[in-house]
Amino acid sequence: MATNVEIKAKVGDFDDLKRRVEGLSETPGVLIPQEDTFFHSPRGRLKLRVLAPDHGQLVYYERQDAAGPRRSDYYIYSTTEPAILKSILAASLGIRGAVHKQRLLYLVGNTRVHLDQVEDLGPFMELEVVLGPGQSDAEGQAIATELMEKLGIGETDLIEVAYMDLLEGLG
């Protein structure tokens, strides 16, 4: 199981945040259209991320719903047949809902910075500090906190839950 420390925040001025991220990133932003279908799961969250008709990722993750930098443990399985996998999961588990977004992905050190335009919700950003071997949650939280400060993300901007929860009115 892989681990990262992450935050999610509502964005007020998307263009300003994009400029700040581009000033810190070692890479140009990559636009990634995504459709995430969430399935009912007895614990954690299970979603199928479709990136193209022949490219998808099944993602299972466990993360506490809390504002601020928090640990997320996850598994990712890649597939070249996301439609078939979606049918199997829908039949066996049932579909909870779907999230459609346009994601700009940037890399800042060992952190993935996502600038998301989420259908029916608006602009958001996520930081995912990928923890290396032997790296502690506290180190990841410190990196996330430092990036939040550099990007002008305040405590009141943070959200506790997944986009799916927000769409369901749970956040």
**Is 170 a residue whose pLDDT tops 90?**
no
Give the CA distances from residue 78 to residues 51, 82, 95, 96, 121, in Å, rounded to whole numbers and listed in that order: 11, 9, 19, 21, 27
Q: How far apart are CA 86 and CA 90, in angstroms?
A: 6
Confirm if 158 and 7 have CB atoms less than 8 A apart.
yes
- pLDDT tens, 99-152? 999 999 999 999 999 999 999 999 999 999 999 888 999 999 999 999 999 999
Q: The domain 2-167 belongs to what CATH superfamily?
A: Hypothetical Protein Pfu-838710-001 (2.40.320.10)
> Of the candidates 4, 31, 13, which has an alpha carbon nearest to the alpha carbon of residue 152?
13
- pLDDT tens, 1-24? 899 999 999 999 999 999 999 999
Q: How far apart are CA 54 and CA 79, in angstroms?
A: 8
Can you give the pLDDT at residue 111? Answer: 96
Domain ranges, ordered by start, for the chain? 2-167
Question: In this structure, what token pair is assigned to residue 61?
Answer: 């993750």
